Amino acid sequence: DILVNGKVCDCDVVVTCQVGDPVPLQVKLTNWSKHSVGPFALTMMPYQDYQNGVHNYDLQDAITFVGSNTFYIDTVKPTKDSVYFGSLLFLYTGDFYLNIKFHEDNCSRELPLSWLCLPSVHIRATD
């Protein structure tokens, strides 16, 4: 589950926020399997979509994280969840997206590391 500004996000919903106001983010990972999962690294990456196949991830002058954009998750037990909080600060108006990825970080496996990507969150920063 993803909450932006206290509202549950859906890939079809545009979340509106004010430039200069911190925007609280909450990502909850729920383990519905019968086994413990982890460790993971949760990474949030903002970008702009130019609608021509180009994604601009070089946004250090437009967006900043209050805190870290990467969180480490040790283990999530069956039917339990793990919640992570952060905040974004938009410095300019525009339409932005947020990629949220869970990277499996278990070095004891012989398989390549895998990513679980959630649908992008669309955020519109206004005056």
Using one digit for the tens of pLDDT, what is the confidence trace for 33-88?
888 888 888 888 899 988 888 889 899 889 999 888 888 888 889 888 888 888 99
CA-closest candidate to residue 3, choices 70, 103, 87, 104 = 87
- CATH code of the domain containing 30: 2.60.40.10
**Backbone angle region of 79, left / alpha / beta, with phi > 0 → left and psi within -120 to 50 → alpha:** left
Q: What is the pLDDT of residues 6-17, one digit of tens each?
A: 888 776 788 899
The whole domain housing 33 covers 2-125
How many structural domains comprise the chain?
1
Please give the model's pTM, rounded to 2 decimal places: 0.79
